[in-house]
Amino acid sequence: MKPAFFCAKQQTETKNTPEKVLACWQDAFHTGLRLCEQKRWQEALPYFHCALETAEILMADDGVKPGRAHELFSSAASMLIDTLGNLGSEDRRRQVYYAAVKVLTRELPRHPGEQVCLGEHLESLYRQLRHSNLATRQPDLGIAFAHHH
């Protein structure tokens, strides 16, 4: 599971323009939310995948405050997990959960000043795990959301 909504050229073009990536995240996330409000889960999926990928790009950008990027990433991961749950896609839901935990955990040593906030994001994702049947089995943690720079 490695959706890629940005081609290599787009990733390069947006690298120094976090405001474009942030605008993309906002559009994708809010479109996904609107579709979820209408219970159009399947249609919301690509928007939340896109929001997740754009948040991961923002996390790699030094021009974006790490706490803000982590918040955007966690919000997109949470909505994607919920949407997959509404579709009954437990395996994919579990994959997204463990991949999101892996990404956020990887951020801990990179941003020691953000450890409390990262811990809160991880706890929030864990609560989603605890309140579902995601804990039944763990997938390969080698899953990634986007190409890393």
**pTM to 2 decimal places:** 0.78
**What pLDDT is stored for residue 134 in this prediction?**
47
pLDDT average, residue stretch 71-82: 95
**What pLDDT is stored for residue 10 in this prediction?**
53
Question: What is the C-alpha separation between 104 and 46, in angstroms, rounded?
Answer: 21
Examine the pLDDT at 137 and tell me if it is beyond 50: no
**What pLDDT is stored for residue 39 in this prediction?**
96
**What pLDDT is stored for residue 66 in this prediction?**
92
DSSP 35-55: HHHTT-HHHHHHHHHHHHHHH
**What pLDDT is stored for residue 111 in this prediction?**
87
Instruction: Answer yes or no: are the C-beta atoms of 69 and 54 closer than 8 Å.
Output: no
pLDDT average, residue stretch 77-106: 93
pLDDT average, residue stretch 64-92: 93
**What pLDDT is stored for residue 98 in this prediction?**
92
Contacts of 44 (CB under 8 A, 6+ apart): 31, 32, 33, 35, 36, 79, 83
Instruction: Answer yes or no: are the C-beta atoms of 78 and 128 closer than 8 Å.
Output: yes
pLDDT average, residue stretch 11-38: 85
Instruction: Answer yes or no: are the C-beta atoms of 29 and 47 closer than 8 Å.
Output: yes
